[in-house]
Amino acid sequence: MKKLIIPSILALLPAMAVALPPGASPTSMSDAFMQQLDSNKDGAVSKAEFLAPQEKQFADMDANKDGAVDRAEIEAVEKSMREQMQKMRKHSTGNR
């Protein structure tokens, strides 16, 4: 389990940077971590708060809501992400 903590944190960092509340400007990784995950604003991140984004991601990926993510569901997410990246590239390059 300990081996999963650091990769889990690293995996959450891009989402944390994007998902900060409007107007929030964290000055450090710890600020970003707390702003994103301390949902009850008690100054600590509980295990439930830490796992909530991963549980939501899993639920979003589990398209048929059977409690498991199969290859087809992962491939669907991958396809959607590729399409979103292509749209972002087109938008940022002025539709070249």
Q: What is the reported pTM?
A: 0.59
| 5 occurs within a structural domain | yes
pLDDT > 70? residue 96? no
pLDDT of 83 above 80: yes
The answer to whether position 63 is within a domain reads no
| pLDDT (average), residues 54-78 | 96
- Residue 5 and residue 89: Cα distance in Å, rounded? 32
Count of domains in the chain?
1
One DSSP character per residue, 62-89 reads -TT-SS---HHHHHHHHHHHHHHHHHHH
Q: Which domain holds residue 38?
A: 1-43
Residue 48 lies in a domain: no
Give the model confidence (pLDDT) of 32-52 as tens digits: 999 999 999 999 999 999 999
Q: What is the pLDDT of residue 33?
A: 92
